Structure 1
Amino acid sequence: MSFQFNFNIEERESSPGECEISLSKHTPTIPDKDVQPEDFNDLNRSSQKECVDNNECESNANSIASNKTLFCKPAAEHQIPEDVCSVLENKIVESSLGLQFVNVSVVEKTLSDSDVYGEDIVNKSITSNSDLISGVYEGGMKIWECTFDLIRYLEDKAVNFEDKAVLDLGCGAGLLGIFSLKQNSKVVHFQDYNSTVVEEITIPNALVNCDSNDLTNNINEPSGKRIKKSDAKPGLLTKCRFFSGEWSQFTQLMKNQEPPMKYNVILTSETIYNPTYYNALHEVFRNLLADDGIVYLASKSHYFGVGGGVHLFETFIKENKVFDIHTLKVHNDGLQRMLLSLVFTHS
């Protein structure tokens, strides 16, 4: 199956309160290869992550990294409402190939009429015709293609999550974390840049996939149906915590936990598209991964317009000499996509 991606990334102008990020330093049925993007709630709609050759990627990376400043969006924890039914209010839930998820188009329509979280990411995304606005919106309302590659791999290899602490980093829809949750993880933490994404997409998806035994019976039509409030049950959500904010801020928040938080497994998909973020991402891994832990990372080989990709990221990791990085699988259908793992070098 081939996916086409077209878009531009917008850069946010520097302002007081920003920080430099230096480059130096749930077991769901998995989609078949022939499934079309429309089967997954406009999966990859208006996607801005397109591949180009190595030279162009590296040139873009150097240009972006030399001038980029990132807004230090504070990290915050999002509490699960005591009335979990309120999470699904005004939501339409769809089902396709065993996956359940809120209809993003409906969420976007609701959010375009009000700015409950003070981010206004839907209108800004529409105005800029972009799914990525650096320092404003990092694409969390889309389900990116590599997420399904990684879920397939984790399922095919029967990766053991039992009694593990798991982080779904840059979670968006939260499907990676939801998968691990249904594999008996001890705890699963979800993190995304935007509060809006966590409140309107991640938490509802966790609920409908893992915490409503009766929901499946109510979602038999392709167009989706509204959830009956009486069907929602707390269940596996008690194992979950949800966070928003910039990566360095999130890292500090989790280091300040008592005891400091360490994850046995970190799952992340399509988060290495911008090389300017590599240092902050590396610090998440270095500070929050358990000594014997592992990172599973899914990515396209190259990203047009933002400059990142596997080649640059591997180089960055090797230069820092903290992690060993390995290629787990390569997908050559359509744009090349890769699955990677990272472990501490002393492991």
Structure 2
Amino acid sequence: MAFRFNFLIDEAGTDDQTDLQFCNPEHEWGSTEKSRQTAKAGASSSPSLGHDKYGDKMPLEKKISFKAAKEHQVPGDLNKVLENKVLETVSGLYCINISAVEMTCVDGADAEGIVSKSISSHSDLIPGFYEGGLKIWECTYDLIDYFSEAEIQFTNKTVLDLGCGAGLLGIVALRGDAEQVHFQDYNSTVIDEITLPNAVANCVGEGRRKGSGDAKKTCEPPSKRPKNAKCSPSALSKCRFLSGGWPEVCQLLLSSNRPFSKYDVILTSETVYNPDYYSALHDTLAELLDKNGRVYLASKAHYFGVGGGIYLFEKFIEERKVFRSSIVKTIDQGLQRCIMEMAFKDSS
């Protein structure tokens, strides 16, 4: 069940959150070994190559039009951000019920019109228009699990949640006492309706379920106000919320009069599904990551119908000769998924 919130956060309920994949249901992996061979075979046929400032070779990609960058301010009245929102708990975090948001925006109520276009197109991905931010994709949970397993520390770090969608990765970093957490998504509707409200909900009404096991899809309502909340409304002062294409957001950050420090950690999940975007993603990481920073990237081995995947991107960055990378975790249940760690080649 799910509870509707009007002005004050009192309690949150549960609802199922379905994981979707960029996958043709007619395709299935027969075995782990087959998945590796198929994915790596796809990686071996990299796009046609040209040149740019980050290396000797780069794909001659389709000309991609990106959205202008925009910064979204946190409203003074935090309760209003959550007015009429439906909350659930996902991986121990408060999360806006996305289906409820889609219902309110189905008739074009969102300025971009991404909800109605997505529904009419029967697609969770419309390249250059809507990039999937209204769904929580499977690899997000893999990366959250990895933070705990590998004991990744966010204390006093500057963190970017790139292609954030619901913003769960950045919220985990915020709860881990990061110094700053910035959230970026392609669509402004996603930031306004999902990401920013999620950050507010986890600061105003912190929602960790103690003693939980697998809380990826549903869990019991948390207490009204846990005594040991790790976030507070003041934590929102550490956050920035940005929408637009990666090159445009990068330019906004680097050219702004506002003080900006490059990121110690960049988190990104399921952003390498489309090879046409690899150059923009790679160059954004190269521009925004601190010289000794780390990127944690989660991806499926291959995205059917879109063409990208972890091994193809791994080959791409090897050809650019800017980053070193390693696959630090592989998940073989269902479609093979991986977590990659990246750092500059000359970093310590």
- Alignment TM class, shorter chain as reference: 0.7 to 0.9
Instruction: Note closer, same or farther for the CA distance 1:40–1:188 as it changes in structure 2 (3 Å cut).
Output: farther
TM-score by length of 2: 0.78
The alpha-carbon deviation at position 49 of structure 1 amounts to 4.1
Instruction: Note closer, same or farther for the CA distance 1:176–1:233 as it changes in structure 2 (3 Å cut).
Output: closer
What percent identity do the matched residue pairs reach? 49
Instruction: Note closer, same or farther for the CA distance 1:148–1:39 as it changes in structure 2 (3 Å cut).
Output: farther
Q: Measure the CA separation in 2 of the matches of 1:301 and 1:39.
A: 29
Instruction: Note closer, same or farther for the CA distance 1:215–1:160 as it changes in structure 2 (3 Å cut).
Output: closer
Matches within 5 A, 1:160-239: 160-213=153-206, 234-239=233-238
**Alignment match, 2:22:** 48
DSSP-derived class of the 1:113 partner: coil
Instruction: Note closer, same or farther for the CA distance 1:262–1:60 as it changes in structure 2 (3 Å cut).
Output: closer
Task: Note if 1:284 corresponds to 2:284.
Answer: yes
**Alignment match, 1:7:** none
Matches within 5 A, 1:1-347: 40-44=16-20, 47-49=21-23, 53-54=38-39, 55=41, 68-96=62-90, 98-117=92-111, 119-213=112-206, 234-258=233-257, 259-347=259-347
- Does the CA-based 8 Å contact 1:61-1:307 persist in structure 2? no
Instruction: Note closer, same or farther for the CA distance 1:261–1:108 as it changes in structure 2 (3 Å cut).
Output: same
Structure 2: unaligned runs, 5 residues or longer: 1-13, 28-34, 49-58, 210-217, 226-230
Q: Measure the CA separation in 1 of the matches of 2:305 and 2:342.
A: 26
Q: Measure the CA separation in 2 of the matches of 1:166 and 1:133.
A: 28
Counterpart AA for 1:247: W
Q: Measure the CA separation in 1 of the matches of 2:219 and 2:156.
A: 35
Counterpart AA for 1:180: A
Instruction: Note closer, same or farther for the CA distance 1:96–1:275 as it changes in structure 2 (3 Å cut).
Output: closer
Q: Measure the CA separation in 1 of the matches of 2:46 and 2:317.
A: 19
**Alignment match, 1:23:** none
Q: Measure the CA separation in 1 of the matches of 2:103 and 2:69.
A: 26
The alpha-carbon deviation at position 201 of structure 1 amounts to 0.4
Instruction: Note closer, same or farther for the CA distance 1:66–1:224 as it changes in structure 2 (3 Å cut).
Output: farther
**Alignment match, 1:16:** none
Counterpart AA for 2:95: F
DSSP-derived class of the 2:191 partner: helix
Q: Deviations over 1:170-229 (max 9, x none)?
A: 00000000000000000000000000000000011111123325998xxxx97989x99x
DSSP-derived class of the 1:92 partner: strand
Q: Measure the CA separation in 1 of the matches of 2:86 and 2:220.
A: 9
Q: Measure the CA separation in 2 of the matches of 1:326 and 1:316.
A: 13
DSSP-derived class of the 2:127 partner: coil
Q: Measure the CA separation in 1 of the matches of 2:102 and 2:221.
A: 16
Q: Report the more deviating stretch, 141-150 or 67-76.
A: 67-76
Q: Measure the CA separation in 2 of the matches of 1:279 and 1:233.
A: 38
DSSP-derived class of the 2:296 partner: strand
- Does the CA-based 8 Å contact 2:272-2:308 persist in structure 1? yes
The alpha-carbon deviation at position 94 of structure 1 amounts to 1.1
**Alignment match, 1:32:** none
Structure 1: unaligned runs, 5 residues or longer: 1-37
The alpha-carbon deviation at position 234 of structure 1 amounts to 2.6
The alpha-carbon deviation at position 327 of structure 1 amounts to 0.8
Instruction: Note closer, same or farther for the CA distance 1:320–1:67 as it changes in structure 2 (3 Å cut).
Output: closer
- Does the CA-based 8 Å contact 2:108-2:115 persist in structure 1? no
Instruction: Note closer, same or farther for the CA distance 1:261–1:214 as it changes in structure 2 (3 Å cut).
Output: closer
Q: Measure the CA separation in 1 of the matches of 2:198 and 2:92.
A: 13
Instruction: Note closer, same or farther for the CA distance 1:58–1:303 as it changes in structure 2 (3 Å cut).
Output: farther
Q: Measure the CA separation in 2 of the matches of 1:57 and 1:316.
A: 9
DSSP-derived class of the 1:271 partner: coil
Q: Measure the CA separation in 2 of the matches of 1:125 and 1:224.
A: 31
Instruction: Note closer, same or farther for the CA distance 1:329–1:111 as it changes in structure 2 (3 Å cut).
Output: same
The alpha-carbon deviation at position 58 of structure 1 amounts to 6.6
- Does the CA-based 8 Å contact 1:60-1:306 persist in structure 2? no
- Does the CA-based 8 Å contact 1:60-1:305 persist in structure 2? no
Instruction: Note closer, same or farther for the CA distance 1:106–1:69 as it changes in structure 2 (3 Å cut).
Output: same
The alpha-carbon deviation at position 39 of structure 1 amounts to 6.2
The alpha-carbon deviation at position 98 of structure 1 amounts to 2.2
Q: Report the more deviating stretch, 122-131 or 108-117.
A: 108-117
